[in-house]
Amino acid sequence: MKRIGVMTSGGDAPGMNAALRAVVRWAAANEVEVVGIRRGYAGMIEGEFVPLAPRDVANIIQRGGTILRTARSKAFLEPEGRAEAARRLAEAKIDGLVAIGGDGTFRGAIKMTQEHRIPIVGVPGTIDNDLYGTDFTIGFDTAVNTALDAIDRIRDTAASHERVFFIEVMGRHAGFIALDVGLAGGAEVIALPEIPTGPEEIAEQIRLSEAKGKHSSIIVVAEGAYPGGADTLMKAAQQIHPFEGRVTVLGHIQRGGSPTARDRVLASRLGAAAAETLVSGSSGVMLGEVEGEIALTPLAEAVERRKPIDRSVYDLATVLAE
């Protein structure tokens, strides 16, 4: 391959820029041209292409978000939109593509490969850590540390006012952020989509905590753990056992900010490996890290197979909350 494209798509994640930098600089060191595609699949359809050289990605390893920007594309969901995207890639003489993103990004990549035979390699960039085939996704560590910093601050207020705080973190379908931040933050209860936790259990836990002399509690709730989120869950628990409570929704604050060292290293390794894998002729795979080693997983498997949470970590958090 003489020219490859690189894009960031879906929800932004800290470390995407570090992965982009690695793709560009590995390619340059191996005499391969790189074309950046702005705004993901939407920009692909519009032909928003920009050449990228090593100096174009200088000073971005520490930046959150993505310099290529990202966007949703309804047009790409239709065969005609994907055909136009393929035509634009061919017109720009782009031989293959590195796609940095999550579930939706990879599903789009699968369709492009199936329908138009475009070689594509994926890099897992999502704070949710929900892709099969990698121990951690780019952005997850930063998101956990951002949420943990907020919880540490909220705990001070909770203790001062003797209140129960329900803290909602991102995770509509996966509870990885809630699990790690709940254990690290000493939460009394962690509610995950994978392990249903109802208001009865939370009310009982708060009652037991009060009986032990605790005057405040932290309840970490993944956004998809209960219909209506943390606010609805808190109000339902208060109907069973009255308590003074507040809700904090961390929301998109978890997506932004400078990536941690761990995310920068992971992104650099996976970005360079993705460029090398694509140029070597492989396609339809995601580059991940499993037990410290680079691992290749078919894109279809990465999105279709459910990545389980570590139940032992959940059980440990429950024991330590006593």
Q: Write the CATH number for 186.
A: 3.40.50.460
Picking from 255, 281, 313, the residue at the C-terminal end of a domain is 255
- Asked whether residue 95 falls in the same domain as residue 29, the answer is yes
Residue with tokens 């920068």: 264
Here the CATH number for the domain that contains residue 26 is 3.40.50.450
Quote the crossing angle between the two packed helices 176-184 and 140-161, to the nearest 10°: 50
> What is the C-alpha separation between 134 and 138, in angstroms, rounded?
10
Residue 309 lies in a domain: no
pLDDT at 168: 97
Residues 226-235: b if buried by 16+ CB within 10 A, e if exposed? beebbbebbe
Residues identified as active-site: 128
Residues 123 and 266 both lie in one domain: yes
- The residue ranges of the chain whose pLDDT is under 70 are none
Are 82 and 204 in a shared domain? Answer: no
Residues 114 and 149 in one domain: no
Same domain, 105 and 31: yes
pLDDT at 301: 97
* CA dist list (Å): 307 to 130, 133, 302: 6, 8, 9
Instruction: Summarize the annotated binding site as residue ranges.
Output: 11, 21-25, 72-73, 102-105, 126-128, 155, 163, 170-172, 186-188, 212, 214-216, 223, 246, 252-255
pLDDT 10s digits, 187-236: 999 999 999 899 999 999 999 999 988 888 999 999 999 999 999 999 99
Annotated binding-site ranges for Mg(2+)? 103
Which residues are known binding-site members for substrate? 126-128, 163, 170-172, 223, 246, 252-255
Beta-carbon count within 10 A of 203 CB: 18
Query: Could you tell me if residue 319 is inside a domain?
Result: no
pTM: 0.94
Question: Which residue, 206, 204, 127, 131, is CA-closest to 171?
Answer: 127
Residue 84 structural domain:
3-139+259-304
